[in-house]
Amino acid sequence: MSDTQLTLIDEVRTRFGPRAAITDPADVEPWLTDWRGRFHGSARAILSPSSTEEVSAIVKLAGEHRVPLVPQGGNTSMVGGATPPGDGSALILSLRRMNRLRTISAQHNVAIVEAGMILQQLHEQAAAVGRRFPLTLGSRGSCTVGGLISTNAGGTQVLRFGTMRSLVAGLEAVLPDGSIHSGLSGLKKDNRGYSLDQLLVGAEGTLGIVTAAALRLVPAVYSRAVGWAGVGDPQAALALLRDFEAKTDRIEGFELIPADSLELVLRHIPGTRNPLDGEHKWNVLIEATSSAPGFDPVELLQSLLAGAIGDKLVEDAMVASSESQAEALWRIRDSISEAERTDGPSTAHDISVAVADMPTFLLEAKAAVERAFPGTIASAFGHLGDGNLHFHVRAGSRSMPGWNQREGHEIERFVDDLVTAAGGSISAEHGIGQMKRGELERLAAPGDLAALRAIKNALDPHGLMNPGKLVG
């Protein structure tokens, strides 16, 4: 450990107590590897402040000693975003102790919470005042508000409510020079030039530390309907979504699931069963909600699906008749990645193209990958209505130790090239982190990359905020 790190850790301990700097290797170790187990870092300590003032003081000290900091929330990043570099040059700055609810108002439809609050707790706090925070995802029991903001996370309700960016009414953050940006007033209109709040959303901890956020709430769900439909191809799935959108504004979940993903789940995840009697090449999971009594989303979804069967858009369909059946349908969707992992190695691509182009793109990309890498199996599932699918390529018959590092790496470049040629994004919701950093550099427009770097260098001239991530 360098002397400067030791001095910094001692100063933090002296000023803020022993809980503010964790150095026991057994306590640090679990936070050095990313959720997917692909990146392993090294750090002598986790600095763990309990207030915005403490974060500010730590950032100033780190600046004086030139010690890089890696902000960390729940460490559920899919791109190694919160994993420190392997050379031990950085310390982790965990926001997990800062998890308080500051205020919540059903009247203003806003909750002001600290960055370390876990998403599940935010859902519970909102429900307690008859409101809902309308963003959810598989990691909700571990991921934090600060991480969700810093990755501009999406999830399964983006179709209706947008990504994290549209749910942030204001931010409090510590900038790289240690100053505190206070933007929690939740103003609906504020045109004082560049928006620091929005710059920090999706910045992956490279421009400062988010310490608290004012978040928009919506009315709580009074009742919901969850259904499953078998369709012939992704074009029919998108036509179904457009048909529903023309008839109702109650649809908030619409997930595409191919037959082979469903088959993998049924094979590997105990207790799951096919929602329909027959097999269908493609399936969609649909959720409709109502926030008011006196309106039945189950009736609505049943009638929409019956009409779609009549119009030959849908081959067969069902609507869950109980909450446990609804949960079982979502469990199938949420278990796809786990089922794939059990099945063998795969590469994962969180991609987006224009919504209308996605059905054709995914079929052509699947065919191109399987032609170029015979024996692999490409499939795509997820948020069709957002033009964002998780395009995964399983090693199939080519599976062997080290496949990910060799052929998997080639496949990643192949898929990223296809997406870029289609005018799409190589990272729709997970961010760049360290995993996609090289690909961003390879594929981004040079002018765009220069602008991103200029912003980074202007705010963080010594490169101390989350080094080695995004453009750092």
Ligand X SMILES: Cc1cc2nc3c(=O)[nH]c(=O)nc-3n(C[C@H](O)[C@H](O)[C@H](O)COP(=O)(O)OP(=O)(O)OC[C@H]3O[C@@H](n4cnc5c(N)ncnc54)[C@H](O)[C@@H]3O)c2cc1C
Q: Write out the residues near ligand X by the rule CB under 6 A.
A: 35, 70-78, 81-82, 95, 115, 137-139, 143-144, 146-148, 150-151, 153-155, 204-205, 209-210, 429-430, 433, 466, 469
Q: How far is the CB of 459 from ligand X (least distance, A)?
A: 13
The tokens 């037959």 sit on which residue?
Answer: 259
Q: How far is the CB of 298 from ligand X (least distance, A)?
A: 25
* CA gap 115, 99 in Å, rounded: 6
Which is nearer to ligand X, 333 or 398 (by Cβ)? 333
Q: How far is the CB of 95 from ligand X (least distance, A)?
A: 4
In the 8-state DSSP scheme, what is residue 185?
T
Assess contact for 373 and 407: CB atoms under 8 A: yes
Q: How far is the CB of 353 from ligand X (least distance, A)?
A: 17
* CA gap 197, 12 in Å, rounded: 28
Q: How far is the CB of 65 from ligand X (least distance, A)?
A: 20
Q: How far is the CB of 208 from ligand X (least distance, A)?
A: 7
Which is nearer to ligand X, 50 or 77 (by Cβ)? 77
Which is nearer to ligand X, 164 or 314 (by Cβ)? 164
DSSP secondary structure string for all residues of 255-314? EEEEHHHHHHHHHHSTT---SSSS--SEEEEEEEEESSTT--HHHHHHHHHHHHHHTTS-
Q: Which position's Cβ is nearest ligand X?
A: 147
Q: How far is the CB of 100 from ligand X (least distance, A)?
A: 14
Which is nearer to ligand X, 78 or 317 (by Cβ)? 78
Closest among 60, 50, 48, 61 to 5, alpha carbons compared: 61
Angle at 418 between CA 414 and CA 421, to 5 degrees: 135
- Within 10 angstroms of residue 448's Cβ, the number of other Cβ atoms is 10
Which is nearer to ligand X, 138 or 396 (by Cβ)? 138
* CA gap 92, 84 in Å, rounded: 7
* CA gap 16, 460 in Å, rounded: 25
Cα 107 to chain center, whole Å? 29
Which is nearer to ligand X, 146 or 253 (by Cβ)? 146
Which is nearer to ligand X, 304 or 332 (by Cβ)? 332
Q: How far is the CB of 254 from ligand X (least distance, A)?
A: 14
Which is nearer to ligand X, 343 or 417 (by Cβ)? 343
* CA gap 180, 52 in Å, rounded: 8
